[in-house]
Amino acid sequence: MAQQITAKKLAKNMIVSVAAQAVTLLVSFILYLVVPRYVSEYTYSYWQMYMLYIAYVGVLHFGLLDGLVLRYGAYDYNELDRSRIRSQLMMLLFVLSCFAVLIGITSLFVFEGERRFVFLLVAVGIVTKNLATYNSYIFQITNRIERYAAVTIVQRGFFGFISVALLLGKVDYFVWYCVADIAGDLLGFALGVLFNRAQVYFGRGIPRREFMEETKANLSAGILLMLANWSSVLLIGSARMITEWQWGELVFGKVSFAFSLTNVFLTFVTAVSVVLFPSLKRLDREKLPEMYGNIRKAISLFMCFALVMFFPGSYIVEKWIPAYAVSLQYLAILVPIVVFSSKVNLLTNNYLKVYRKEKSMLLVNLVSVALGAGLFFASAYLFEDLNILLYSVVVAIVFNSVLSEIVVMKLIGKRFYFSIFLEVAMAAGFIAIAVLLPLWWGMLAYFLLFLVYCALHYKTIAALFRKFRARRAA
């Protein structure tokens, strides 16, 4: 089995991964802050509709790829049984192609106008997005973060380059931006084939009996994790869908713009999470509780401070894209989900996967989705109030974060209830300040609130700085 990852190697992996995500962040900046300035609101709305539905095509591998991650996450690349991995890819490609054809044909008869094009592109994305996921998982589970970073840079960089070219050409049609996204995935997949010398992509598979056993093992291991992951995505996605159904494409576009800005903040969280899981997987079990506490302290402090950036950021965005000024009102409500989503994506989900508690993870997410769906439908169809729906999103995300952390606390034997209470209080305080006060007075008020938070965590902050100085001295 693979060797444990040293602290130095972990730090290097994080730096490389963050560098790759810096490119993703730049592309996100182009997509979320430049594209909406230069395309029509309808073009942006339909493009966001494509982005919403393409996010769910990963469910069609039925947990096969998640099973590979869980079963082979502690292996180095040279330890993988390539013929077994190849056989899974061949089967996956066949199943995905069938779904793509089915959805493509259905789209021709069910939808009209621009929606037809949206779902035809989603049908193509069923294959390309899942191939891109397979690519990234192979690099992540074998801890080849440098190669993963290179593929990410090429994939997202190409998408960003084509998007800029389309803007310079004054292309105001969403289809071409979607095609650029698909082309970036294909280019990234091709680079993955090159890096792996086609060893886990093409070649002979395994005998039929072994293939069936391997497929069953991967599906059994991964189906719960897949459902847990995608039910979590559905938590926010369902709110966006209901917005589009109830208030139409234009309002959906404005709300999606606000959600997109929160995604920019989560980009670096994704970068660290990619590195953290294989590292935790290889860590001695007795060290996991202490590691959880250390990472949790750093995340909470950093994310609560990052909320300050909402105020200058809102000023810049309002001047840059005045047509989406109303989106900033929605963003004021939604920004705190960054704090709680970061904890879930970076910490609790990774720990539940390491402890193989996929059932608990799924149960937490299903309960959260059920709560969220009830709140969202009541907000949209009973109260008919968009702001109430957005507040409901925050409630559902906070509930999901707190519940999942309670499960993890039982596993590691530690308690963080006071810290959780303070984080919820900070989120509520931020929303009240951002909604009720003028921008710059709000920034001052929240900064003072953050200083109070720091004072309550004085010992924790001092300990973090001592560890940082000791690490640098070493």
Structure tokens at 129: 């997005």
Question: What is the distance between the alpha carbons of residues 338 and 305, in angstroms, rounded to a whole number?
Answer: 12
296 in Cβ contact with 367 (< 8 Å): no
Question: What is the distance between the alpha carbons of residues 182 and 129, in angstroms, rounded to a whole number?
Answer: 8
Structure tokens at 146: 């440098």
Place of tokens 């106008």: 113
- Cα 108 to Cα 53, 103, 111, 115, 325: the distances in Å are 17, 9, 6, 10, 36
pTM of this structure: 0.83
Per-residue pLDDT of the chain (474 residues; tens, 9 = 90+): 455 555 555 566 666 666 666 777 778 778 888 899 999 999 999 999 999 999 899 889 888 888 888 888 767 777 777 888 888 888 899 999 999 999 999 999 999 989 999 999 999 999 999 999 888 888 877 777 778 888 888 898 899 999 999 999 999 999 999 999 999 999 999 998 888 776 777 777 788 888 899 889 989 888 887 887 788 778 888 999 999 999 988 899 999 999 988 887 776 666 566 556 666 766 777 888 888 888 888 888 888 888 999 999 999 999 999 999 999 999 999 999 988 998 888 889 888 888 888 889 889 999 999 999 999 999 999 999 999 999 999 999 999 999 999 999 999 999 999 999 999 999 999 999 999 999 999 999 999 999 999 998 887 777 767 766 766 665
